[in-house]
Amino acid sequence: MDGSARAVALAAVYAGWAHDQRLVVGSVAPLTADQLALLAAPHLHDIGHLAAHIVAARARMIHWILGEGDDGLDALARWDGFDQPASLAIRPVAELVRGLEASAAAIQDALARWKVDDLDEVVEWRYDGDTHTYTCQRMIWNLVRHDYHYYGEIALTLGIHGLAAPDF
């Protein structure tokens, strides 16, 4: 690979991800509190908790592990009950939308600065007495994979209940 190809910002490589984020936000934003509580099956999480989990997992990966974004992401990182004794809070749709947008913005800001060479950077995360080692590439892949898993679950739940779902 020549130097010019390696200088491309990762935002260009992952451009479709930002588009799909907007589709998910557009599907969640008009929902009522009752619709946020819809489930695909009794043993699965409702739409509101799925959206909160997307936000929290993004915040942990992009801020706690990769060190990106501001400290406002710390509170978002706990939206799914991670490391908390309290039960999950039911969040209003406007708050979920703000969380989805803030966590996505932190990711997109990092991707706009990062280049292909940055994918090999090694990061360590110390948690619960253990040290976990990742490359930047691995964390980006974890973010993408996690988002699309839960995007799909939200889309499926919306579709089951006859609501508009994102068309990826």
pLDDT category at 11 given cuts 50, 70, 90 is: confident
> Residue range 94-116: average pLDDT?
95
Q: How far apart are CA 133 and CA 103, in angstroms?
A: 22
pLDDT category at 123 given cuts 50, 70, 90 is: very high
Residue 118 within a domain: yes
CATH number at residue 98: 1.20.120.450
Residue 127 pLDDT > 80 = yes
Residue 135 pLDDT > 90 = yes
Three-class secondary structure of residue 133 per DSSP: strand
Residue 4 within a domain: no
Residue 167 within a domain: no
> Residue range 72-84: average pLDDT?
85
Average pLDDT, the chain: 91
Q: How far apart are CA 29 and CA 43, in angstroms?
A: 24
Which of 20-29, 82-91, 103-112, 147-156 has the least mean pLDDT?
Answer: 82-91
Domain span including residue 78:
9-160
Residue 84 pLDDT > 90 = no
Residue 5 pLDDT > 80 = no
Q: How many domains does the chain have?
A: 1
Residue 51 within a domain: yes
pLDDT category at 86 given cuts 50, 70, 90 is: low
Tokens 């090999």 sit on residue: 120
Residue 168 within a domain: no
* Sign for the pseudo-dihedral over CA of 16, 115, 121, 123: negative
Residue 38 pLDDT > 80 = yes
Residue 18 within a domain: yes
pLDDT of residue 1: 45
